[in-house]
């Protein structure tokens, strides 16, 4: 496994990838992508047990599902940096006939992507189904998933969350990106979510509150703690408090950059704050 300093360098490079991808096509979702950069690097480089070669069935390895698919830039960047497909393919983000569409799709066969996502609220159901399939197959590996906090306003989530607790789907670790922002404003203004962790608890989940969701080491430790709690009769939820737009000062703490691309001057500023570490594409 890479040392923490190496992982931090990957984080910085992924930030560069995100803002460059979105800027090139003047379209995409940089805010949530930047807020979850440390999570994705920790997950793919330090936490999950993965096979060297991608297989769609995921047998004999951990599986990750991205539910809030609009943050595809960070997903694509980490998959490419991890070797799932050539890094230079990031140049095709959101272009016609590209495998890297604005929301992840499966029909073009992009390695690392197992479901089309971005129709919010559906990823929890998929993750639970995959977790139960693991159990039926006698596969001891885990299912990981990521969900936006605003996404929890979709009712299907709560049916799935209730089901997972009731059926003791204890090989699932679902992380909630609790950045408090969504496309129209603060989540508490659009539709208050209240105490997200307590909601999961009363639905039968084991819950970990991660206050420092942009601290790479804190994420790794929380994920390892979550892993240690699997197999004990409850699904595990990590409520991960992050900063929207983290790492780019003018994008932080606001919903304004949920789905907005930087202009040339803003891109230059974002890149200056994140000097190249392991090479641009």
Provide the pLDDT for residue 232: 98
Per-residue exposure over 154-169, b if at least 16 CB sit within 10 Å of its own CB, e if not = beebbebbebbbeeeb
Per residue in 247-258, pLDDT (tens digit) is 999 999 999 999
**What are the tokens at 121?**
């609220």
SS3 assignment, position 97: coil
User: Is 22 part of any domain?
Assistant: yes
Provide the pLDDT for residue 118: 80
The answer to whether residues 207 and 239 touch, using CB atoms and an 8 Å cutoff, is yes
> How far is Cα 149 from Cα 193, in angstroms, rounded to an integer?
8
User: Is 20 part of any domain?
Assistant: yes
User: In terms of residue numbers, what domain contains 12?
Assistant: 4-273
Per residue in 89-130, pLDDT (tens digit) is 999 999 999 999 999 999 899 999 999 998 899 999 999 999
User: Is 62 part of any domain?
Assistant: yes
How far CA 182 is from CA of 68, 130, 190, 193, 265, in Å, comes to 11, 27, 8, 12, 25
Per residue in 210-236, pLDDT (tens digit) is 999 999 999 999 999 999 999 999 999
Compute how many other C-beta atoms are within 10 angstroms of the C-beta atom of residue 265: 8
User: Is 278 part of any domain?
Assistant: no
Q: Report CA torsion sign: 48, 53, 54, 55.
A: negative
Domain containing residue 27: CATH number: 3.40.50.970
**Closest by Cα among 188, 47, 84, 68 to 124:** 68
Per residue in 25-45, pLDDT (tens digit) is 999 999 999 999 999 999 999
Provide the pLDDT for residue 1: 64
| Neighbouring residues of 57: CB distance < 8 A, sequence distance ≥ 6 | none
> What total of structural domains would you count in the chain?
1
The answer to whether residues 40 and 83 touch, using CB atoms and an 8 Å cutoff, is no
User: Is 281 part of any domain?
Assistant: no
User: Is 280 part of any domain?
Assistant: no
Query: Whole-model pTM?
Result: 0.97
> How far is Cα 278 from Cα 80, in angstroms, rounded to an integer?
13
User: Is 193 part of any domain?
Assistant: yes
Provide the pLDDT for residue 55: 95
Per residue in 130-178, pLDDT (tens digit) is 999 999 999 999 999 999 999 999 999 999 999 999 999 999 999 999 9
User: Is 279 part of any domain?
Assistant: no
CA dihedral 256→277→5→181, nearest 10 degrees, is 10
Per residue in 76-97, pLDDT (tens digit) is 999 999 999 999 999 999 999 9
């Amino acid at each position: 496994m890479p040392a923490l300093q190496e992982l931090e360098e990957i984080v910085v490079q992924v930030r560069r990838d995100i803002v460059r991808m979105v800027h090139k096509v003047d379209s995409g979702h940089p805010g949530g992508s930047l807020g979850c950069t440390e999570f994705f690097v920790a997950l793919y480089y330090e936490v999950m047990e993965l096979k060297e070669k991608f297989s769609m069935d995921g047998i004999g390895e951990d599986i990750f599902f991205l539910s809030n698919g609009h943050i595809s830039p960070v997903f694509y960047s980490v998959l490419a940096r991890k070797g799932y497909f050539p890094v230079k393919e990031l140049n095709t983000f959101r272009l016609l006939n590209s495998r890297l569409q604005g929301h992840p799709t499966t029909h073009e066969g992009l390695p690392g992507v197992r479901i089309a996502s971005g129709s919010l609220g559906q990823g929890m159901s998929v993750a639970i189904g995959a977790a139960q399939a693991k159990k039926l197959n006698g596969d001891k590996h885990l299912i990981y998933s990521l969900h936006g906090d605003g996404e929890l306003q979709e009712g299907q989530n709560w049916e799935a969350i209730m089901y997972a607790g009731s059926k003791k789907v204890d090989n699932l670790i679902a992380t909630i990106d609790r950045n408090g922002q969504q496309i129209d404003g603060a989540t508490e203004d659009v539709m208050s979510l209240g105490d997200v962790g307590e909601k999961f608890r009363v639905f039968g989940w084991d819950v970990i509150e991660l206050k420092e969701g942009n601290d790479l080491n804190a994420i790794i430790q929380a994920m390892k703690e979550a892993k240690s709690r699997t197999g004990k009769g409850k699904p595990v939820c990590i409520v991960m408090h992050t900063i929207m737009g983290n790492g780019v000062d003018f994008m932080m703490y606001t919903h304004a950059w949920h789905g907005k691309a930087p202009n040339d001057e803003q891109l230059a500023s974002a890149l200056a704050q994140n000097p190249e570490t392991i090479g641009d594409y």
